[in-house]
Amino acid sequence: MPFLVRFLLRHAAIGIGVAAVFVALLVAFDVAHLASLFAHSPDGWLALGVLTVALGITFGSVQMGFAVMLMDDEDGPPSGRRARLTRLVPKLARVHARR
């Protein structure tokens, strides 16, 4: 499998794992009475599964985005035609006021 595919799958799995821990903590601490709602509802397991999948997609996507944006450029110095500013020098502007 190519390196980038493995890279993205690994970070997606990390995000899904974080989401699963987050949902477990939500249920364990009964935030907004979610645990009692899941326990007393006839479709509580379905709601818990939907919450876990939705947060897994969200956290997995965020983790993949962070990983891609924080990748190092291995080719060397940045390319492009824009010259870097070494020092900012303030300039005075003449303003003519009318009466």
Model confidence over 60-97: pLDDT tens digits? 999 999 999 988 766 656 566 666 667 888 888 888 88
Residue 84 lies in a domain: no
Residue 42 lies in a domain: yes
**Burial degree of 63 (CB within 10 A; 0-12, 13-18, 19+):** buried
Residue 60 lies in a domain: yes
Residue 37 lies in a domain: yes
- In angstroms, the CA 16 to CA 61 distance is 9
Residue 74 lies in a domain: no
| pTM to 2 decimal places | 0.71
Residue 7 lies in a domain: yes
Q: Which domain holds residue 40?
A: 3-69
Residue 29 lies in a domain: yes
- Let me know the angle formed at the C-alpha of 9 by 11 and 66, rounded to the nearest 5 degrees: 30
- In angstroms, the CA 96 to CA 40 distance is 76
Domain count, the chain: 1
